[in-house]
Structure 1
């Protein structure tokens, strides 16, 4: 938490203190009671999602006697759609990110990487062919397409 305001400041100039929340969490200090924390609901939901994912991943690795690859395969059924090499790469990425995310309380990189892998599994489930990507054509501009 980088910003702090007193309860008196909040009561006198609520708009100013609330504006501080746009830049992160704000601690509201009080003389005779525990401090309060003010943050955007979306930031709290994101934090809860990150903590939840990190907890699931760590529990899965511990339940698999420290094997991240086995734990992930047992916890997330869609991991079975990956090749052995992809499973190993996914496990290595999660192992690299989960411990630092939990220690630092910063979950953006973990969530982003997890979602990329989950998206790849969804694409495989929908029938996307596996390959090196050499058969893909990259567009310079985005194109709107209708859903099938």
Structure 2
């Protein structure tokens, strides 16, 4: 577990050497009143974590390939119980996208990709959990539904 010390922006301005000394040991959250907090971390620590994330993602991908998508989907049920409402073919696709998302996130250092993948699949599960919604969205459409409003004007 990472230890994060907190300092105020004014403390960083007033005594940057002390804050840097703290950052040599642990991450430092710089609290600001006029914006989002900042995280101060040594570049070599960040690079080490990034490399470790890539190694972990590759190891997970290798394990997932060995055990197969069904076992991975079953394992993910502990954290994401909504997977149970997905059809088997969708579970296999979720596992594929999850593995790809982990690898891409690790490579890019942007973990929001995995969160977005799971958010989208959770929404798919919502559709499958509601028979009426699933039927409505699965039926073929006919005719013209009229102009589509500009989402930027909504």
Please give the TM-score of this superposition, normalised by the length of structure 1: 0.49
